A = this chain, B = another copy of it.
Amino acid sequence: MAEAEPRRRARGGGGAARRAARTAVSFETARFIERRVPNYEILDEEALELIEANADLVLEEIGVNFVNNPEALKLWKEAGADVEGERVRIPRGLARKLCQTAPSRFTQVARNPERNVEIGGKSLVLAPVYGPPFVRDAEGRRYATMEDFRKFVKLGYMSKWLHHSGGTVCEPTDVPVNKRHFDMLHAHMTLSDKPFMGSVTEPSRAQDSVDMCKILFGEDFVQDNTVMTSLININSPLTFDDVMMGALEVYAKNNQACIISPFIVGGAMAPVSVAGTLTQVLAEVMAGIAYSQLLRPGAPVIFGAFVTSIDMNSGAPTFGTPEASQILYGAGQLARRMGLPFRSGGGLCGSKLPDAQSAYETAHTLNAALLGGVNFMLHACGWLEGGLVSSFEKFVLDADQLGVLHRLAAGIALDENAQALDAIREVGPGGHYLGCAHTQANFKDSFWRSDVLDYRPFETWFEAGAQDSFALASARVEKLLGDYQAPPLDQGISEALDAFIARRKASMPDALT
C-alpha cells in the first residue's frame, strides 16, 4: 500500500485536551462495498452483441463531433479516424481497441488512507448528490449558498455508509462562478477526509483542482496517484464540447480519474427506446474513453451512464422508472464486457419533496444500481426534484438507506454458525428463538438497523408526536451538524491552501458565468 499513502503530516496545533475532545466523537465510515453477490444480467449474449455491433456502426457511419477542439481532431486523425470538419468517424473496432489501455480498477486515495476507495471489479463506491442550484430544508426551498455546501460536506463526512465526499454537493450561488471551485474544494479538503471530485467547468479550474491537490497530498504524490475522480458529461447526442474535453485533458494528463458519462433524458437526447439508448450510450462512452487514452494511455476512467426517461405529457425528466432501470442493467453489462469501471444510478427521483414518491423512485434506482454492478454511484444521497434541489432531509434518509445496500451486497453467510442447526434443534417445534443460545450470541449483528427510520410501537410513536420520516430526518440533520467535528489537518497545509486560494482569487475579477 506504500504507493497509496499520502505524505505523513505532523499533527498541527492543538494540545492533548483538544485531541481527546476530537476523538470523543467517532465518525465511523464503512469500507467501500465489495459485492459478494452476483450481478443481474438482463440481456443475453445475442442482445449484447447486437448492441455492440450497432454502436460500432454508429461510430463508423455517423461519428461524433469534437467541438472547437483542433488538438482533439489531430489526435483522432493520427489514431486512424476519419476526420471531416469537427466530425470524427471511427472505424469499426478502433474505439474499443483504444479503450483497452484504461485500467479495469483503480484506487482513489483520500487524505485519510483508511478512506481510500477502489473503483472497478466488484466494488461499489457511494458519493453524494452533485449539481443542484437549490437546497430544501425544513424551512422550504431556496438558492444554495456556500454555507449550505459546507453543511452537506459535514453531513457526508459523518455518514457511515457514504465513502466519498463528492463534488458540487450543491451550487454555492452566493460565490462568483469563477471562484466557487476554490471554496468547494477547500470545504472537501478541510471539513472531510474522504475522497472527493475536482472542478470541470473550465480547464483552468481543473488545473486549480490539481494544484490544490498537490498542496494537500504533495506534488510527487499526485503525479503517481489518483486523488480525484471528476465528472465529464458528454453532450448527448454524440457531441464532445471543448469545456468538458478541456477539463478531461487536464485530468487525464495528470493521471486523475474521470467519469465519462452521457447525460441523457431519453426521447430528448437519445431515442425513446431502451435498445436505441444503450446503443448511443455505448458509442458515446467508447469515443470518450478512447479519447482519454489518446491523451494518456492508462489514464483512469469510468464508463458512465446517466440516463433517464421523460414524461411525454409534460416534457419533464422522470426518475426511478422501469426503463431507467433496464438501461442501467444493460449499460452495466456493456461496461463489464469492456473491463471498465461503471458509473450509474443514485438516489434519483423527480419528486419535489422527500415524500413517498421520492422514496419509491430512489429505492428503485438504488436497487438497480446495486444489482446492476455499478462501481461508482454519484447522487447516492440528497438528490431531489430531478437534480434541481439538494435536500438536507433526503440526504440523511438516503444515506441511511445506503446501509441496506452494504448488507445486501455482503451476501449470505453459510458457515456452521449461520446454518444454525443447533438453534433449530434447541428450540424445536412450537418453541421461541428469542432466548436461545444462538440468538443471544448473534442478535447484535444479525439484522441491519436504520439509524433514522422509526421502529417503535404505534402507541410510543404516537405519544412522541407521530412524526413522519421528514420530521425524523430534520431532527437527524440538526443532531449531526451539532455533533460535527472536523478531521485534523496539518496547519502548514491548511495555511498553504488558504494562501493559494487568496492569490488565485485576487488574480481574477468576479465572473457570473
The answer for the CA separation of A461 and B352 in the assembled complex, in Å, is: 8
Interface contact B360-A433, CB-CB below 8 Å: no
Would you give the shortest CB distance from A161 to chain B, in whole angstroms?
A: 12
The answer for the CA separation of A424 and B62 in the assembled complex, in Å, is: 8
Q: A38-B41, A429-B238 are in contact. Are A447 and B362 (CB under 8 A)?
A: no
Interface residues in A405-439 by Cβ distance below 8 A to B read 405-408, 411-414, 417-421, 423-425, 427-434, 438-439
This chain's copy number in the assembly:
2
Q: Report B-chain residues with C-beta under 8 Å of the C-beta of A239.
A: 429-430
Q: Report B-chain residues with C-beta under 8 Å of the C-beta of A434.
A: 267-268, 315
- The reply to whether the CB of A357 lies closer than 8 angstroms to some CB of chain B is yes
Interface contact B272-A443, CB-CB below 8 Å: yes
Would you give the shortest CB distance from A244 to chain B, in whole angstroms?
A: 14
The answer for the CA separation of A448 and B325 in the assembled complex, in Å, is: 12
Interface contact A311-B359, CB-CB below 8 Å: no
- The reply to whether the CB of A63 lies closer than 8 angstroms to some CB of chain B is yes
Would you give the shortest CB distance from A103 to chain B, in whole angstroms?
A: 28
The answer for the CA separation of A57 and B419 in the assembled complex, in Å, is: 12
Interface contact B355-A355, CB-CB below 8 Å: yes
- The reply to whether the CB of A468 lies closer than 8 angstroms to some CB of chain B is yes
Chain A interface size, as a band, is 35 or more
The answer for the CA separation of A470 and B357 in the assembled complex, in Å, is: 9
- The reply to whether the CB of A496 lies closer than 8 angstroms to some CB of chain B is no
The answer for the CA separation of A237 and B433 in the assembled complex, in Å, is: 9
Interface contact B272-A62, CB-CB below 8 Å: no
Interface contact A47-B412, CB-CB below 8 Å: yes
Q: Report B-chain residues with C-beta under 8 Å of the C-beta of A267.
A: 433-434, 439, 443, 446-447
Q: Report B-chain residues with C-beta under 8 Å of the C-beta of A367.
A: 363-364, 367-368
Q: Report B-chain residues with C-beta under 8 Å of the C-beta of A442.
A: 272-273
- Sample 26 A-B pairs with CB under 8 A, ordered by A number: A50-B414, A54-B419, A54-B421, A63-B429, A266-B447, A268-B434, A272-B442, A272-B447, A275-B418, A276-B424, A309-B448, A314-B457, A322-B448, A323-B407, A323-B446, A323-B447, A330-B412, A352-B458, A352-B466, A356-B394, A356-B470, A356-B473, A362-B363, A363-B367, A367-B367, A367-B368
